[in-house]
Amino acid sequence: MTTISVEHVSKSFGKVAAVDDLSFETPPGAITAFLGPNGAGKTTTLRMILGLVTPDSGSVTVGGRPYRDLDRPLRQVGAVLEATAFHPGLSAEAHLRAVAIAAGLDVARVGQVLDLVDLREAARRKVRGFSLGMRQRLALATALLGEPGLLILDEPANGLDPTGIRWLRGFLRAYAVDGNSVLVSSHVLAEVEQIADHVMILAAGRLRWSGPLTAGSSLEELYLEVAG
């Protein structure tokens, strides 16, 4: 079980306090959503979890260790941040093979992840011609190569059509039911309401509310109250 633990983390960019004394732990085997308006500090937090941004203070660990100290990071954490870049001249399959080989992962996994994200039919096509939704699926497939127990997704529904969003919801649910953990960020309330078990509401770099989503309770009222 890979739990993310964030303890009293702050990060400023110049005068902007992007993240301000943030603490939380993600529940394992659940889909946790990080909800908040644009600029709330969601992406910065995810980047700190992945060791891409260094906090000014506080500590961030994944499964008890800083991300950069993980022995086999791709096997423990799969991540999709905003606007993943792919070589436009590679096919989806060639991209996945290259990543698998570079990371020392079994190349046989490529076919499996293409099936998982429903991209098998486009596997031989060059990424140059992919829609945003197809790129999102390919980024997700890349994150799944190492069969990680934890998935971190930054605004994964961006660029997906309603069918794609429904598909993503089903995919994440099945993934969590298998005992894996998911941390997903979003600024879209309705999306979070449909996808998450547990919600953290972030505004201006601070955690305003955190708790399980229960049927019948209005996330919208809560959100407007704490982050509106």
Ligand X SMILES: Nc1ncnc2c1ncn2[C@@H]1O[C@H](COP(=O)(O)OP(=O)(O)O)[C@@H](O)[C@H]1O
Can residue 55 be called a binding residue for ligand X (CB under 6 A)?
Answer: no
Q: How far is the CB of 184 from Mg ion (least distance, A)?
A: 12
3-state secondary structure of 186: strand
3-state secondary structure of 109: helix
Among ligand X, Mg ion, none, partner that 174 touches (CB below 5 to 8 angstroms by kind): none
Can residue 136 be called a binding residue for Mg ion (CB under 5 A)?
Answer: no
Give the tokens for residue 7: 């303890």
- Among positions 9-48, residues that touch Mg ion (CB under 5 A) are 42-43
Q: Strand 31-35 to strand 198-203: parallel, antiparallel, or no bridges (unpaired)? A: parallel
Looking at beta carbons only, is 182 or 202 nearer to ligand X? 202
Looking at beta carbons only, is 36 or 78 nearer to ligand X? 36
Can residue 76 be called a binding residue for Mg ion (CB under 5 A)?
Answer: no
d(CA 142, CA 19): 28
Q: How far is the CB of 40 from ligand X (least distance, A)?
A: 4
Can residue 51 be called a binding residue for ligand X (CB under 6 A)?
Answer: no
Binding window for ligand X (CB under 6 A); candidates: 33-41, 125-133, 142-150, 208-216: 33-41
d(CA 132, CA 99): 20
Calculate the CA dihedral of residues 71, 24, 182, 32 and round it to 10 degrees. 180
Among Mg ion, ligand X, none, partner that 38 touches (CB below 5 to 8 angstroms by kind): ligand X
Looking at beta carbons only, is 134 or 153 nearer to ligand X? 153
HSE-up of residue 192 (Cα within 13 Å, Cβ side): 27
**How many CB atoms sit inside 10 A of residue 118's CB?**
14
d(CA 27, CA 5): 10
The one among 42, 95, 109, 206 contacting ligand X by CB under 6 A: 42
Residues that bind ligand X (CB under 6 A): 13, 16, 18, 36, 38-44
Residues that bind Mg ion (CB under 5 A): 42-43
